[in-house]
Amino acid sequence: MVSQKKMNSIVWYVPMSGKGPDIESSCRKLQLLIKSSGVLDNIEKDDFTCIKLHFGEKENTGRIRSELVREVASEVSKKTKNAFLSDTNVLYKNSSRTNSVDHLKTAHAHGFSIEKTGIPVIISDGLFGRDYMDILIEKKHFKDVKIARDIAACDKMVVLTHVTGHMYTGLGGAIKNLGMGCASRRGKYEQHSGAVPTVEPEFCVACGLCRANCPAGCIKMENGKANILSGSCIGCGECVVVCRTKAINIKWSEKLENLQEKMVEYAYGAVKAVEGNAVYISFLLKVTKNCDCIALDEPAIVEDMGILASRDPVAIDKASCDLINQRSGKDIFKEVNPITRWNVQIEYAAKIGLGNTAYTIKEI
């Protein structure tokens, strides 16, 4: 079960200095981190163990390298034969991860095949993202949450996170990987549905890209300008991403805070679904402004920092941001995504008992 910790949570850290450490060196450091931290030690023989990660949108280059995932898969496989890699399908229509067929092809194209990692890939919420289990949480926004069925069925979960910024939540860390990443499609909709963007007509050139990419079909062209029918909008953010003139925006509002709080409650439910048996490894490598859903080769916003491990998703996210901001000499997350405050999710997660903001770094 999820519990509020009283003492500082431990975050193990293996630093990597300089730009772009080579992959062999990164793999060795990851092995050292796993061994020194002991985060995989609780996995028992035959435990069904989900290694949760983001396989990266087609054309995205920021995702965790498959060589690093193979190291984790190899260590987990020494403990159980029932390990698998997993993610869930996304809300957007024009994605290479909208259904399990496309999603598996994308994962394999990015090196996440059984031949390369030694374990299979299972998309945990079924062919169209409809398979979930209701997990009772009784929090402010949700009484229960809809967690992908095959994740909820597991004994253990190892959460691998490529730490990034995010246009709506400010931070894409372990909490987001749990909250949004373990939610079924309906669960993602429940989290997003409060965030409706608006069009600034003076910047709209009527190219129609937003309408063509809107999965809910709720953008109409009226008087030569895009118009969003807010009642049908599912808040997925596709239109914000595709608009080249920046005519579509979500302004900072309580709604974005709500999105973060909802995501945290889903994260709480994901951890509860595996009875608290989740551990976290976060990669501060090629940290980008946006998450791995973006089909781009984005530049890094800070030099490569290293890899962290912890049993606490809140502590590892807080430590990730603190390390990155210290290296940047400023709040780089706020600078690259100024419409939201990244720490809302961390503060709320601590408040509802998902983890602890107080941490002690153990450098390896």
Q: Which residues bind ligand SF4 (CB under 6 A)?
A: 197, 199, 204-210, 214-216, 218-219, 226, 228, 233-239, 242-243, 245, 247-248
Which of residues 199 and 344 has its CB atom nearest to ligand SF4 in the complex?
199
- Which are the contacts of 360, defined by CB distance < 8 A and separation ≥ 6? 8, 9, 10, 11
Minimal distance in Å, beta carbon 199 to ligand SF4?
5
Minimal distance in Å, beta carbon 215 to ligand SF4?
6
Which residue stretches of 2-77 are H helix? 23-37, 66-77
Minimal distance in Å, beta carbon 277 to ligand SF4?
35
Token pair of 332 as six digits? 């780089």
Which of residues 115 and 202 has its CB atom nearest to ligand SF4 in the complex?
202
CB 279 within 8 A of CB 158: yes
CB 266 within 8 A of CB 182: yes
List the Cα angle 33/328/176 in 5-degree steps.
60
Based on the number of CB atoms within 10 Å of its own CB, is 246 exposed (0-12), middle (13-18) or buried (19 or more)? exposed
Minimal distance in Å, beta carbon 319 to ligand SF4?
32
Minimal distance in Å, beta carbon 198 to ligand SF4?
10
Minimal distance in Å, beta carbon 344 to ligand SF4?
20
Which of residues 233 and 279 has its CB atom nearest to ligand SF4 in the complex?
233
Which residue stretches of 184-253 are H helix? 185-192, 209-213, 238-242
- Which are the contacts of 278, defined by CB distance < 8 A and separation ≥ 6? 156, 157, 158, 159, 178, 270, 271, 313
Which of residues 20 and 208 has its CB atom nearest to ligand SF4 in the complex?
208
Which of residues 26 and 213 has its CB atom nearest to ligand SF4 in the complex?
213
Which of residues 25 and 232 has its CB atom nearest to ligand SF4 in the complex?
232
